Amino acid sequence: MKDFFKSLLASILGCFIVLGLFFLIIFVSIAAMSFSSLSSTDTYTLKDNTVLTLKLEGELLDRVEEENPFLALLGQASDSQLGLDDILLSIKRAKENDKIKGIYINAGMFQASSASLKEIRDQLLDFKESGKFIVAYGDVYTQGCYYLSSLADKIIMNPQGNLDLHGYAANPMFYKGLLEKVGIEVQIFKVGTFKSAVEPFILDKMSDANREQVSSYLGDMWSTLTSDISASRNISVEKLNQFTDSLVTFKKAEQTIQYGLTDTLMYETGVKEYLKTLLKVDDVKDVRLASIKNISSVPSLKESNSGDVIAVLYAEGSITDGSGKDGITSKRYMKEIEKLKDNDKVKAVVFRVNSPGGSAYASEQIWKAISDLKEKKPVVVSMGDYAASGGYYISCNASKIIAQPNTLTGSIGIFGMFPNAEGLTKKIGVSFDVVKTNKYSDFGDLTRPMREDEKVILQNYIERGYDLFLTRCSDGRGIAKDSLDNIAQGRVWTGKQALEIGLVDALGSIDTAIEEAAKLAKLEDYSLSSFPKKTDFFESFLSNQKEELTTKAMKEYLGSDYQFFKTLKEIKDQDFVQARMPYDVVVR
């Protein structure tokens, strides 16, 4: 009888646990579907006298996933992120719709790279052809936001604000001294005079070759920025450089008007009154400010219903092996590319690449998938901020390559890094011994330095990898291998420089790439579809809560040092053989 009651109680408890889990799953499912339903039905009703507000705040990515509502409920709402695709789409919608009278640029602390800023600026210039107004306001104009705002019909600054024009700088971090202190030696194997990604681990400052290439591409990027501002503000490039070198824009706000950099000073509260006069309405309540999200949800007046599709495949981040959703993972993208190849509705593909590279092996796998796709339909690469090293590897065999003038590309070269922790183990009093059956049984042992014969084997392996990289680029670009080697060697080029040496076919935006894809596919009418498809709320909740929460906690705890932590994590996760730009080149 005693055992009977034990079994009965255990069964009842088990039933309660199962029922509890069942109801929890139902609750989560209903909540997720409710959030998703609310999101999908929350459409914006466009009215007359609407002004698109480009609130430039936070980090810019090519695309952002939909907000995960459960993170907000847990007090872990995502950091402010803007999608370049949403910004460009909202500007297009604003141009074509007569209810939208203009654009208001609200400049804030905006983290965006040079080529993405150029992409937005070109779209704003296209908008201006409609005859509608653009007004810009900033409490403080960062260099990037001022670059965008410089084409506005009226540039307004807070009377207590300032305008930051300081030029471009790259500040690589070097770890050699730290590694020596802890007793770790990094053994380097590379091909390419300019392949500088290994320098932080073996030097304490830039090599002469690296300094040469960085000076070259920074100067070219700065030339693009100052030329565009000069054309919009009618200020000579020489004058702009004088202002930059003396930091005069950090002085009194009134002087920015005197120098022709801004038009008027006004507090933000007065901007809506100014917009009222432009719209010719009697009450500020009749000035309707719509967000990027609002306007990008408004249906296009020119949207095609064609069954012929041009697919835009977004690839952003480091290139790694595997099938995860963080960055460009080879197995995931091979599967996406295979689907596009077999989809008869897809007549051409625009491959949007925004990557500093990564695993050489994973890059080769994606290169093969793109090459197979190209045999069936045109593939046009649109390069974003970076399409360098592995990012160039996966691009090189496209039908056409389009880059922005200030895209960083090329960097054709590979390297391998192998740590030797013998110094560390001695410091902490640990020793190792070995018994082996063959000469190379302990090949790859981290607790000792490599023998010379092992170093020769690895260097030959790296050189074969470089030769394969050269072959892929030579075949894809139609440049003789020996000629290509002269412009490879790991050197980074801007898009403008890459056009001159044959690494890209034309300069332009993602729209330029789409137009080229339509031309190659002989399409007069087509619709656009983006891939990979964005993750919905429910899938996001089930798949990556732990990862998202951990990342946000680390960002909050480490602050600006999070980037260093991210760099170390990438080093740990990457393959031995890498085709990528330096981990820590930040252009600001």
DSSP for 142-182 reads: -HHHHHHHTTSSEEEEEEEEEE------B-----HHHHHHH
The yes-or-no answer on residue 29 being catalytic is no
Name the active-site residue from 389, 395, 411, 474: 389
Paired tokens of 367: 């290169």
In angstroms, rounded to a whole number, what is the distance separating the alpha carbons of residues 126 and 372? Answer: 36
Q: State how far the alpha carbon of 55 is from the alpha carbons of 80, 107, 265, 271, 278, in Å.
A: 11, 6, 19, 14, 19
Q: Which long-range contacts (CB under 8 A, 24 or more apart) does 279-284 make?
A: 279/49, 279/51, 279/101, 279/102, 281/49
Q: Which of 92, 195, 347, 496 is catalytic?
A: 195
Q: What is the rounded distance in angstroms from the CA atom of residue 144 to the CA atom of residue 387?
A: 20
Element (H, E) at 506: strand 506-507
User: In angstroms, how far is the first alpha carbon of the chain from the final one?
Assistant: 78
Q: Phi first, then psi: give them for residue 225, nearest 5 degrees.
A: -65, -50
Residues 146/164, Cβ–Cβ less than 8 Å: yes
Contact call for residues 359 and 578 (beta carbons, < 8 A):
yes
- The DSSP secondary structure of 79-142, one letter per residue, reads PPEEEHHHHHHHHHHHHH-TTEEEEEEEEEEEE--HHHHHHHHHHHHHHHTTT-EEEEEEEEE-
Strand partners, 189: 416
Question: Is the separation of the CB atoms in 337 and 312 below 8 Å?
Answer: no
- Please say if 195 is a catalytic residue: yes
Within a 10 A sphere around the Cβ of 131, how many other Cβ atoms?
A: 7
Q: Which one-letter DSSP state was computed for residue 261?
A: S
Q: What is the C-alpha to C-alpha distance for residues 94 and 86, in angstroms, rounded to an integer?
A: 12
Beta-bridge mates of residue 409: 387, 493
Angle between helices 330-342 and 360-376 (to 10 degrees): 0
What distance in Å separates the CA atoms of residue 357 and residue 336, rounded to the nearest whole number?
Answer: 19
C-beta of residue 143 within 8 angstroms of C-beta of residue 166: yes
Distance CA 163, CA 248 (A): 9
The span from the CA of 509 to the CA of 118, in Å, is: 9
Q: Is the bond preceding 532 in cis, omega lying within 30 degrees of 0?
A: yes
Distance, CA of 471 to CA of 498 (rounded, Å): 18
Question: Rounded distance, CA 241 to CA 219, Å?
Answer: 12
Backbone angles phi, psi at 100, to 5 degrees: -95, 115
- Report DSSP letters for 421-442, one per residue: -HHHHHHTT-------SSTTTT
Bridge partners (DSSP) of residue 20 are none
* Listed residue (121, 188, 579) closest to 360, CA to CA: 579
Residue 67 near residue 79 (C-beta atoms within 8 A): no
Structure tokens belonging to residue 60 = 């810019």
Residue 340 DSSP symbol = H
**Contact (CB, 8 A) for 585 and 172:** yes
User: Which residues are designated catalytic?
Assistant: 195, 389
